[in-house]
């Protein structure tokens, strides 16, 4: 059962997304700020991270950069979720080392496709 770390500060979104992911058959752990997200990623070693950008304490870019510069967590695919649908956000996401990018509100079908893709790529 693939383990997904969901870093999201909005409680409702966190709850909704984690439940939908669980229904999809993933094991979901969640963090509500950047620092917690970082520490959980390091300790839990999830198979994939869904990362919100506007986070308290440490923003999503920061966490992503930290994880991608860490030898032990670099391999974990990260999908960035942002409410800002600006082209520059997309570029920043790839610059920061994200593996994929999606905008909020999440279109769940598209997101789960992206998750599947990244997990399959990693497996193969």
Partner 1 sequence: MILQNLSIKRKLTLITMLTSSAALVLSALSFLIYDLVSFRHLLIQDLRTQAEIIGYNSAGAMEFKDVSAATATLSALTAKEDVVSAGLYGRDNKLFAHYSRNKNLISQLLPANSQDKGYRFEGGYLQVFHDVTLNGERLGTLFLQSDMRQWSIRARRYAGILFIFVLVSGLFAFLVSSRLQRLISRPILHLEDTMRMVSANRNYEVRATKSYGDEIGKLIDGFNTMLSEIQQRDMALRGANDELKSRTGELEKEILHRRQTQEELLKAKHVAEEASRAKSTFLANMSHELRTPLNAIIGYSEMLEEEARESGKSDGVHDLRKIQSAGKHLLSLINDVLDLSKIEAGKMGLHLENFDLAPLIDEMATTLQPAAAKNGNTIRLHVAKNLGAMHADVTKVRQILFNLLSNACKFTDHGTISVNVDESRFEGRDWIRFRVTDTGIGITAKQKENLFLEFSQADASISRKYGGTGLGLAITYRFVQLMKGRISVESEPGKGATFTVYLPAQVVAETSESARSTANSELAPASDESKARKDTILVIDDDASVRDLMSRFLSKMGFHVVVAANGEEGVRIARQVRPLVITLDVVMPECDGWTVLKKLKNDSDLADIPVIMVTIVDNEAMALDLGASNYLIKPVDRDRLAVLIEKHRAGHPATITGAAAAPFISNPPQRRRESERRASGKVDHAEDLVSRR
Q: Which residues bind partner 1 (CB under 8 A)?
A: 10, 12-13, 16-17, 19-20, 23, 54, 83-88, 90-91, 94-95, 104-106, 108
- Token look-up 């391999």 returns 75
Least Å from the CB of residue 44 to partner 1: 24
Least Å from the CB of residue 42 to partner 1: 27
> In angstroms, rounded to a whole number, what is the distance separating the alpha carbons of residues 11 and 15?
6
Please, which residue, 83 or 121, has the CB nearer to partner 1?
83
Please, which residue, 10 or 73, has the CB nearer to partner 1?
10
Please, which residue, 47 or 52, has the CB nearer to partner 1?
52
Least Å from the CB of residue 121 to partner 1: 14
- DSSP letters, 39-74, are HHHHHH--SEEEEESS-SSS-HHHHHHHHHHSTTTT
> In angstroms, rounded to a whole number, what is the distance separating the alpha carbons of residues 55 and 87?
20
> In angstroms, rounded to a whole number, what is the distance separating the alpha carbons of residues 35 and 17?
20
């Amino acid at each position: 059962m693939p383990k997904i770390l969901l870093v999201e500060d909005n409680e409702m979104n966190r709850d909704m997304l984690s439940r939908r992911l669980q229904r999809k058959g993933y094991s979901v752990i969640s963090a509500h700020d950047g620092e917690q997200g970082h520490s959980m990623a390091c300790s839990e070693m999830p198979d994939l991270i869904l990362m919100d950008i506007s986070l308290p304490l440490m923003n999503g870019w920061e966490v992503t950069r930290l994880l991608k510069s860490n030898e032990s967590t670099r391999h974990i695919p990260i999908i960035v979720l942002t409410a800002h649908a600006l082209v520059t956000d997309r570029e920043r996401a790839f610059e920061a080392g994200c593996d994929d990018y999606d905008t909020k509100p999440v279109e769940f079908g598209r997101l789960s496709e992206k998750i599947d893709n990244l997990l399959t790529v990693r497996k193969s």
